Structure 1
Amino acid sequence: MPTKICTSSVRKRRTHLGVILAITLPFKLHAAPEHGISMYGAPELPPDFVSVPYVNPDAPKGGRIVFGESGSFDSLNPHILKGRAPYGIGAYVFEGLMGRNWDEPFSLYGLIAKSVETGPNREWVEFALRPEARFSDGSQVTAEDVLWSFETLGTQGHPRYQGTWSKIETAEMTAPDTVRFTFNTADRELPLILGLWPVLKKAQYEGRDFGESGIDIVPIGSGPYEIESYDPGRVLTLERDEDYWAAELPIMRGQHNLDEIRYEYFGDGDVVFEAFKAGEVTSYREGNAAKWDSQYDFPRMRSGEVVKSEIPHERPSGITGFVMNTRGAPFSDWRVREAMMLAFNYEFVSQTLNGGTQPRIASYFSNSVLGMEDGPAPEGVAALLAPFAGDLPPDALEDYDLPVSDGSERNRKNIRKAIDMMAEAGWTVQDGRMRNAEGQPFRFEILLSQGATETQQMIDIFAAALERMGIAPTVTTVDSAQYKERTQRFDFDMAFYRRGLSLSPGNEQMLYWSSEAAANEGSRNWMGVTQPAIDAMIRTMLEAESREQFITATKALDRVLTTGRYVIPIWSDTVSRLAHDAELRYPKRLPMYGDWIGFQPDVWWYEE
């Protein structure tokens, strides 16, 4: 049965990490505290804004939404490496010092913090807390909770927090309701990153091992929802907190209108779709344009109970496809990776699975101003990359395009090129099998998650192409728990990979592709890239003092990542396709990020 939840001047030093947590004297010079902060320039919304522009501030409260998820969960703590926690807990039970306006590239406005203040070069940030901020049990959110939360996340939390924590020189309480963080690294994004870190209730975890806290601790947050009930691996129900303390703050007005958010877990994606057709799930994202056009003629759709919505966006394509682990053979050799990209017959795969209607991902930041241009690297990008010319991937400074086939299943021209590339890397076809000079066969494993039907279909076509080259990959399908465990340990040769990217990429890029992340289990650098130019471009992005410098550095990063041939890219979309119960509504005015974080169910409401 589901488990029912009922909620109703000292100085500390940590010399081993070089971070000081302190309460200091309140006598100091202040710059002007602000209501918001932007990555570059001033935030767009004025101090007296009523709500973010893409909400209905008068949306009614009530109703529910039911999501279908493939896989399972075994934790209620989304902030640690161990276990699998549902997305909704991190998004709706917890909240940060500031909230994001998803109609700007990267701007934050006061939430738990009523104001934010930074040094002239953003060498420190100070947050003044709202006295009315409350956890869902009614207790006040204090400066002590903030300091404890950030130290705990930085030292015991998921690896994604550790990089930021290492850049904090001191964390101190400068007044009973004010916290200040001073940095040891030039990084303009750090004040914004800390503004988004979740604030936890210190008293709930006292005497507990935070890194091990999983299903046994039901978290108490200050966000708009509480955990109402859960059944590990099967269902999670979040209930709107009718006494949510921030409901009328400008950054929250018109949001979190649904009384209930429910996550139902199923074996695979096909079962989720059938559950949606049957009415057990009330909203479904369709990633395949051909299915969107051909498989939505079912009774609930014909009766009008279900409607289809297409949500455009302006964000980058990100990268989706099959990542190759370069930590060892065979994919440590770029020529082998190039051969795999030639053998992957994208045009035939796309035509077979989605009618060729969706555009291919051209680069990691394609479909945006941040993406690499066609042709040779422009002057500014070339200047940034010049010091690394000897270590850059082939074509990084020249014109580079993804392989294109003739669209036929045989893909003869590209298969011939692939065989030639393998020969350059020391692999030739001998007695019908691809072998090296010692006669050892070319082998690698493709790791897939159970229930990923479309991914499996792509691999079937890819494997048939490889067979014509004398290569027989091992395709291993595992459940979601094993898939997460193995990918966190980088225990794979090739795997399905997806990384969404924003219009203001920053510190998360270190976790995605830095040399440091390559060695850290649990990081998102699945490909294991250790490229000095990538590390330098990320640092340049973080230290850029203008939007123009930032864009140039991001274009350079995109060029190195793309020409590195780490991922065989598939397709992206400039729209999201959402089928949902007709009673679920959303505003006509859409944010620039479209259907992404902060959209569904955040600004939706229920109306019969």
Structure 2
Amino acid sequence: MGLDYFPSSVRNMVCRALVLGGLFLAPMAQAEPQHGISMYGAPGLPPDFVSLPYANPEAPRGGRIVTGNTGGFDSLNPFILKGTAPWQLRFLGYEGLLGRNWDEPFALYGLLAESVETGPNRNWVEFTLREEARFSDGSPVTVEDVIWSFETLGTRGHPIYLTFWTKVKGIEQTGPRSVRLTFNTDDRELALIAGLRPILKKAQWEARAFTDSGLDTVPIGTGPYVVERFEPGRNVVMRRNPEYWGRDLPLMRGRANLDEIRIEFYGDAAVMFEAFKAGELTVYRETNAEKWQSAYDFPAVQAGDVIKSEIPSGKPSGMTGFVMNTRHAPFDDWRVRQAMIHAFNFEYMNDAITGGRQKRITSYFSGTDLGMRPGPAEGRVRDLLAPFADTLLPGALDGYALPESDGTARNRKNLRAAMRLLQEAGYRADQGVMRDAAGRALAFSILLPQGSTEKQAFANIFIRALERIGVRATLDVVDNAQYFARIQTFDFDMTDFRRDFSLSPGNEQRAYWGSAAADQPGSRNLMGVKSPAIEAMIARMLETGDQDEFTAAVRALDRVLMTGRYVIPTYAFGVARIAHVRQLRYPERLPVYGDGYWFLPDVWWWQE
């Protein structure tokens, strides 16, 4: 899906954002403290900007939003591995030294910090705190809090925070309100990542174990919302802090407009949708295009009390589907993985589940200039991959595309191809069962959380198709606590998968598929991939200052990931579909990244 898929206004936003944020050849050195920082070139907003371009600085404050999650929660600390916290907490109650503009590929502006300064090669970054920065309890944010937060998250926090800390050579106070981090590796993105690290209050944890906190302790942050009350496993209510320190900052004008954000928890998506129809929720994100067309004719929609809004996005497709764990058999063999991709009859499933309305993801960065191109690798992409030719899987250099079925349930051609691949991998049919040389049946389970109705529908059709080629797959549906515990320890064969990407991919790619993360409990490298080619492409992305080289490195990475056959792709989310009560409003000007926590509820407001 290319940019021509989007309305001209969105295409213009994408192009403008790429121009503002993609000036790779502009001078990088910052000789003095600045109001913001961009991954490449200068930040797009001037020092005297009034508000983010997609926020309404005149938005009224008040009202509430009631949204829903499936599953449950057993923690209110989103910064540790133990327990499951509502995902929204991290983005509503906590802030970093800098905040992001989601209308540029990757640009940050002063939040807790009033200024940022970097060395000529970004081998260090220094932040100066705002004198008025406060935690939600009214206490000032100090350099000591900043240093403690970096050290604690980097050594005892969730694994997503650990890798960054290994690249920090030192952190020190350089003035009454200033702190400097020095890095031990060449990585242009580290200065920006440092700006996004959440800052917590050190004094809160002097007599408490940070890693053992759950429902008994809510970390104190600086964000506009605080947890007001909760019922374990049922709901969490967040209240806008009337004394929020940053409400008048340009970066925050027109944001955090709602007085209350209530998160209700449901057993599955079907029950949650019925709750929305009954008026228990005020907003609902719909991911199924067919359901969007056919299931939203209930009385509140007909009366105009519920509005259907579509929010386009210019970001890469990302990857959604079913990931295979390569740490053990049978998915340690790429031929078995490719056989699964052939057996997964996407065209038939898509027609049955979404009415064929949603296009399939064709690569990890599809829909943008960063995505791999059809056919053989050429030019710089080929040059980057050539040194790893002996380790690359078929298709990386010569070209690769997902198989297509004829759209019928039988899928004969692809199932025959799957059988051939399994035979090449050493399996033979024995009385209708595929067995290896030792006589063991080819069997695996698909792990899914309760409430994943649509994913279960995909899985059940897939399981029936596999039966036809003698593969025994089972569906293993568990509650959310078990699901996340097993995901964190890689205790699965196949499971659901979703990774979102920005227009400026960087260090997060190491968290997703870096070798160091493959065996780290709680890491996001679910497939367990270890690839020198992937490591080299990510390194090139982070080190280069040349736009063409960067794009080539991302396209090359895309090729290695796709031909690795780690994920069975399903469909893309190019448009966010949001149903909401008519009192909930949002700005006409949309961010280039479309919908996300930075959009709903961040810049929405309530208006009778």
TM-score (ref. length: structure 1): 0.94
Residue 328 of structure 1 is matched in structure 2 by 328
Residue 152 of structure 1 is matched in structure 2 by 152
CA distance in 2, matches of 1:55, 1:226: 22
CA distance in 2, matches of 1:395, 1:87: 37
| CA deviation after TM superposition for structure 1 residue 219, in Å | 2.3
Superposition pairs of residues 116-131 of structure 1, within 5 angstroms = 116-131=116-131
CA contact (8 A) 1:316 1:366 kept: yes
CA contact (8 A) 1:323 1:495 kept: yes
SS in 2 for 1:309: strand
| CA deviation after TM superposition for structure 1 residue 576, in Å | 0.5
1:532 and 2:532 equivalent?
yes
Residue 25 of structure 1 is matched in structure 2 by none
| Residue identity in the other structure for 1:268 | D
CA contact (8 A) 1:358 1:572 kept: yes
1:337 and 2:345 equivalent?
no
SS in 1 for 2:429: strand
Query: Unpaired segments of 5 or more residues in structure 1?
Result: 1-29
1:410 and 2:410 equivalent?
yes
Query: Unpaired segments of 5 or more residues in structure 2?
Result: 1-29
SS in 1 for 2:310: strand
| CA deviation after TM superposition for structure 1 residue 450, in Å | 1.2
CA contact (8 A) 1:322 1:567 kept: yes
Matched-pair identity in %: 61
| CA deviation after TM superposition for structure 1 residue 245, in Å | 1.0
Residue 140 of structure 2 is matched in structure 1 by 140
SS in 1 for 2:88: helix
CA distance in 2, matches of 1:156, 1:59: 39
Moved more, 434-443 or 326-335: 434-443
CA contact (8 A) 1:40 1:546 kept: no
CA distance in 2, matches of 1:235, 1:451: 16
CA contact (8 A) 2:83 2:214 kept: yes
CA distance in 2, matches of 1:596, 1:370: 21
CA contact (8 A) 1:269 1:453 kept: yes
Superposition pairs of residues 391-406 of structure 1, within 5 angstroms = 391-406=391-406
SS in 2 for 1:87: coil
Residue 562 of structure 1 is matched in structure 2 by 562
| CA deviation after TM superposition for structure 1 residue 597, in Å | 3.3
SS in 1 for 2:151: helix
Q: Alpha-carbon deviations, 1:16-69, whole Å to 9, x = none?
A: xxxxxxxxxxxxxx9311000000000000111111100111000000000111
Residue 440 of structure 2 is matched in structure 1 by 440
SS in 2 for 1:512: helix
CA distance in 1, matches of 2:597, 2:316: 14
| Residue identity in the other structure for 1:112 | L
1:475 and 2:475 equivalent?
yes
CA distance in 2, matches of 1:550, 1:76: 39
CA contact (8 A) 1:537 1:557 kept: yes
CA contact (8 A) 1:363 1:562 kept: yes
1:459 and 2:459 equivalent?
yes
| CA deviation after TM superposition for structure 1 residue 247, in Å | 0.8
Residue 255 of structure 2 is matched in structure 1 by 255
SS in 1 for 2:179: strand
CA contact (8 A) 2:105 2:504 kept: yes
Q: Alpha-carbon deviations, 1:326-355, whole Å to 9, x = none?
A: 001100000000100000001000011111
Q: Alpha-carbon deviations, 1:224-268, whole Å to 9, x = none?
A: 111111112111111111121111111111101000001001111
CA distance in 2, matches of 1:548, 1:209: 47
Residue 3 of structure 2 is matched in structure 1 by none
| CA deviation after TM superposition for structure 1 residue 417, in Å | 0.7
TM-score (ref. length: structure 2): 0.94
| CA deviation after TM superposition for structure 1 residue 538, in Å | 1.0
| CA deviation after TM superposition for structure 1 residue 449, in Å | 1.1
CA distance in 2, matches of 1:453, 1:520: 30
Aligned residues: 579
| Residue identity in the other structure for 1:294 | S
1:266 and 2:266 equivalent?
yes
Residue 291 of structure 1 is matched in structure 2 by 291
Residue 16 of structure 2 is matched in structure 1 by none
| CA deviation after TM superposition for structure 1 residue 475, in Å | 1.6
Superposition pairs of residues 171-320 of structure 1, within 5 angstroms = 171-320=171-320
CA distance in 2, matches of 1:391, 1:554: 18
| Residue identity in the other structure for 1:290 | E
Residue 55 of structure 1 is matched in structure 2 by 55
| CA deviation after TM superposition for structure 1 residue 299, in Å | 1.5
CA distance in 1, matches of 2:573, 2:515: 30
| Residue identity in the other structure for 1:292 | W
Residue 577 of structure 2 is matched in structure 1 by 577
| Residue identity in the other structure for 1:186 | D
| CA deviation after TM superposition for structure 1 residue 549, in Å | 2.1
